[in-house]
Structure 1
């Protein structure tokens, strides 16, 4: 059986500003279960990168261990990639980002990889405001080891086995907000119209950007008793509002009805256009976002969309005042400027 995508494509596929078609951002044929939400997320990443006209060789995709961490094989086949140790993906991203700040770092993880063995790594990546996009493919179970409940499974939710989960869930967006994350969103793998603009906004955000994506496991956790099933999420999802991402080269147009709308200019000059459904959430106020998450959780609903964003975020490189040039481009003359410079440094410390 071949896992390679056929090279033949329709000659008139739409091309972006770089001349790439969407096929240029694809990877190998997926070996995940048919209908897995993770494949839909992979498709959203492909679409976002194509529409942003990103150069594939300037993207680094990294993952840990699990069904979710297999998925980078299925998108961005011409990008840099590294499949790390279980739960240790953030450390690898940190090292890579410090060596080459010019790449766009896309970390893909699962609810087990993030909320259990990798929890410490996850929290410190947030605390340092590492400049990366962190996508959690959240299905509430361990799909590679027969569907045991993960730390994000809701209390009372039951997997295919049928036993209700006796423990409370770790809410990753809520935790990220408390730890100081500068971009927090949640979406659903079955809602690409919401997910794609969120991915595009996260990729242009400066700092740590978390997108927690509910992604049903069709083999072990897609039944009526599960809160991570397609049926449950579609019936209980509530959106913060409509999000449009407008590249800086395009004219900004809107078709929203009268209401509370706001445009946010991102660091690269692109624009995020928000149309809020409710006055209850201010996506630029951390306390408001935390209250909204708790309000919807207590009512049995899943709050999706952009939950919080810091418009003035300072990433790790800015905090540490690192070299503007990637460290992997520095030569001996840069690293060893000579005896005279060293003498001046020593004199300044006396």
Structure 2
């Protein structure tokens, strides 16, 4: 695969964040995806979120599987750690890396085929184990690299570019993640930067499994009349449950809100995600109502977006397993092999 490197030079007066970095410093290679692909908008949103959070790229690990979506990590965070795994196996690689060094911020990028198809088993266990990862699904309802077959997330009755009708019921990943115990579940649209960027920022700061299912239309195979994953269809059927703003710890809340109630949800590090509730019936802290809302939206042919569910009290994978705070890759031989006397104490304690 050929990668086109962007020129390193940029204007000296570009805006800089707290680390002195510009948005250009968070970019990657030039995209080889189709012009107009929603995945490129997601990459731009990731760049913006990392820039606003003043994250250091060397403290981030980005992982992916196979598919158009799994190519996109090449297009952002050029200085971050990275691993491109085989089809559907990104969660297991992320689990191993996380156990080796939980100090990094893990970002998994997958697709609807990579996650809801061959990788669904690994996705389910990563969610139920509270793997500390921001899991991004770039969901276009189609297998774009293999010429447009329906994926498992495509809606029943939707038509392909070739006029075929999808005969099977879809898998809804946010509903599944909530049922499995994921602590942070959101959905957004690649064309809604105002919603997607703060949602990404909140997910990156959440300690535990964070899923963001992002509807990302495929302009080549799934952007036609009859598709339920097209730009026009999502714009017409998008129903947002919340207008989001992410407030990092120590910063004053600066967002202005229109009429409607607000709810502040604290995250593990003291940061707050502030929600403007557009529906009085919707509460992202209520697991049952979150699933009910998703089910009702599906029946009405709507796409529910925003922060769908959050549980700020969950423990992440490392905390559940009582793993040492020191990354395993930093242990020395003396720590791993304490000697015969210590081993004798351990054996004695088992009697």
Say yes or no: TM over 0.5: yes
CA distance in 2, matches of 1:13, 1:254: 24
CA distance in 1, matches of 2:101, 2:255: 37
Q: Does 1:10 align with 2:11?
A: yes
Q: Could you tell me which runs of 5 or more consecutive residues in structure 2 were left unpaired when the two chains were aligned.
A: none
Secondary structure, aligned partner of 1:106: strand
- Alignment correspondent of 2:288: 287
CA distance in 1, matches of 2:319, 2:286: 22
Name which of structure 1's ranges 263-272 and 74-83 shifts more when overlaid on structure 2: 263-272
Name which of structure 1's ranges 154-163 and 66-75 shifts more when overlaid on structure 2: 154-163
Task: Give the deviation of 1:258 after TM superposition.
Answer: 4.1
Deviations 1:28-65 (A, max 9, x none): 00000000000000000000001000100000000000
Secondary structure, aligned partner of 1:113: helix
Task: Give the deviation of 1:259 after TM superposition.
Answer: 2.5
- Alignment correspondent of 1:193: 194
CA distance in 1, matches of 2:242, 2:106: 27
Deviations 1:286-334 (A, max 9, x none): 1010000011110110000000000101001011000110000000111
Secondary structure, aligned partner of 1:253: coil
Secondary structure, aligned partner of 1:273: strand
Contact 2:187 2:306 in 1 (8 A): yes
CA distance in 1, matches of 2:3, 2:334: 49
CA distance in 2, matches of 1:265, 1:252: 13
Task: Give the deviation of 1:270 after TM superposition.
Answer: 1.5
Contact 2:141 2:150 in 1 (8 A): yes
Contact 1:205 1:266 in 2 (8 A): yes
Deviations 1:50-82 (A, max 9, x none): 100010000000000000000001011100011
- Alignment correspondent of 1:161: 162
Question: Where does 1:23-102 land on structure 2 (aligned, <5 Å)?
Answer: 23-102=24-103
Task: Give the TM-score taking structure 2 as reference length.
Answer: 0.98
Secondary structure, aligned partner of 1:245: strand
Secondary structure, aligned partner of 1:28: coil
- Alignment correspondent of 1:131: 132
Secondary structure, aligned partner of 1:8: coil
- Alignment correspondent of 1:312: 313
Task: Give the TM-score taking structure 1 as reference length.
Answer: 0.98
Contact 2:3 2:29 in 1 (8 A): no
Contact 2:188 2:214 in 1 (8 A): yes
Contact 1:280 1:292 in 2 (8 A): no
Q: Does 1:264 align with 2:294?
A: no
CA distance in 1, matches of 2:204, 2:81: 16
- Alignment correspondent of 1:341: 342
CA distance in 2, matches of 1:206, 1:191: 25
- Alignment correspondent of 2:236: 235
Task: Give the deviation of 1:253 after TM superposition.
Answer: 3.0
Contact 2:41 2:191 in 1 (8 A): yes
Task: Give the deviation of 1:257 after TM superposition.
Answer: 3.0
Secondary structure, aligned partner of 1:175: helix
CA distance in 2, matches of 1:93, 1:25: 21
- Alignment correspondent of 1:206: 207
- Alignment correspondent of 1:275: 276
CA distance in 1, matches of 2:263, 2:341: 54
Deviations 1:196-215 (A, max 9, x none): 00100000111100000000
